[in-house]
Amino acid sequence: MSDSVTDYGIVLVTTSSPEEAKVIASALVESQLAACVTVIPVQSIYRWQGEINEDQEWQLIIKTRLELFRALSDKVIELHSYEVPEIIALPIVAGSQAYLNWIGENVRLNKC
């Protein structure tokens, strides 16, 4: 499998509450920065200011075009309650063409 890369990816974001997850997910879909957002309740263990913490969080898995990452990131930061929210993108290297087309039809074009 060549290390082919598509124009698409998933973006991971965590939030502090299901309400915050829904606000951010809905805003991303409504503003066509994402075609679909999946939300999962999770438990997070992390280091913050030198201390090990454990909190319940909500994991968003955001399906989009990777060229929208900057605009998507700005929208998440605008809405998010954290000082430094998780916003990381993973590459989609293969996909059913019908599904990738569906993502493409449901997100805005990136006007550079």
Which residues of the chain form contacts with a copy of itself (CB under 8 A)?
A: 1, 3, 5, 7-10, 12, 14, 22, 25-26, 29-30, 32, 35-47, 52, 57, 59, 61, 63, 65-67, 69, 73, 76-77, 84-96, 98-100, 102, 106
- Is the Cβ of residue 17 or residue 26 nearer to a copy of itself in the bound state? 26
The greatest distance separating any two alpha carbons of the chain, rounded to the nearest whole angstrom, comes to: 46
CA distance 104 to 81: 29
CB of 52 to a copy of itself, least distance (A): 6
CB of 109 to a copy of itself, least distance (A): 13
> If you write DSSP's letter for every residue of 64-80 in order, what string do you get?
EEGGGHHHHHHHHHHH-
The residue behind tokens 């900057």 is 70
CA distance 35 to 100: 10
CB of 4 to a copy of itself, least distance (A): 8
- Is the Cβ of residue 17 or residue 46 nearer to a copy of itself in the bound state? 46
* 72: DSSP letter: H
